[in-house]
């Protein structure tokens, strides 16, 4: 990632999301290892941050697509890449938060097996926010045990 792409990612995040705190290129560059992004004709058209927050949990932050590139499969590709990154990082659960009125994002995550586990008011923005989670490392299949008598 170079300074130009970092600036484009910051601008994309700031214009397409209702953020309480805006990003700048410096912040993006400082966290560059956590960002995945799609470039077309030297323009960032989509991005997502994947951050490990616990030994078992990774978080998807601000999956964002440029308004001129919506409905072209970019969000799905970024979510797939974010999931692969979380699995590579040995996370067991992938989580995100989505504004309550962001129907498109909620639909994407629900379609991909995420479940809304909570809904709360974020006072700084005044928005209701949903917490969505997906198990990406399912438990081993239960075997026969002495407890079942089998």
Interior CA angle at 31 toward 134 and 127, to 5°?
55
Burial grade of 111 (CB within 10 A; 0-12, 13-18, 19 or more): exposed
The predicted-structure confidence for 52-102, as pLDDT tens digits, reads as follows: 999 999 999 999 999 999 999 999 999 999 999 999 999 999 999 999 999
Average pLDDT for the chain = 91
The answer to whether residue 142 scores a pLDDT higher than 70 is: no
Number of other residues whose CB lies within 10 A of the CB of residue 18: 10
On whether the CB atoms of residues 110 and 65 are closer than 8 A, the answer is no
On whether the CB atoms of residues 131 and 116 are closer than 8 A, the answer is yes
User: What is the structure's pLDDT at 11?
Assistant: 95
Burial grade of 65 (CB within 10 A; 0-12, 13-18, 19 or more): buried
Is residue 18 very low, low, confident or very high in pLDDT (cuts 50, 70, 90)?
Answer: confident
User: What is the structure's pLDDT at 138?
Assistant: 81
Is residue 141 very low, low, confident or very high in pLDDT (cuts 50, 70, 90)?
Answer: confident
User: What is the structure's pLDDT at 113?
Assistant: 96
Does 3-138 carry CATH code 3.40.630.30?
Answer: yes
User: What is the structure's pLDDT at 19?
Assistant: 86
Mean per-residue pLDDT, 21-40? 94
């Amino acid at each position: 990632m170079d300074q130009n792409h970092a600036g484009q990612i910051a601008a994309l995040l700031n214009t397409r999301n209702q953020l309480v705190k805006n990003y700048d290129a410096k912040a993006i560059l400082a966290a560059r290892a956590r960002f995945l992004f799609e470039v077309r004709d030297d323009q960032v058209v989509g991005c997502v941050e994947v951050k490990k927050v616990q030994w078992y949990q990774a978080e998807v932050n601000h999956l964002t697509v440029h308004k001129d590139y919506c409905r072209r499969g970019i969000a799905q590709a970024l979510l797939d890449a974010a999931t692969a990154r979380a699995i590579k990082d040995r996370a067991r659960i992938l989580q995100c938060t989505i504004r309550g009125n962001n129907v498109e994002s909620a639909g994407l995550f629900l379609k991909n097996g995420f479940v809304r586990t909570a809904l709360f008011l974020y006072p700084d923005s005044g928005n209701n926010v949903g917490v969505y989670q997906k198990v990406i490392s399912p438990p081993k299949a239960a075997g026969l045990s002495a407890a079942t008598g089998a």
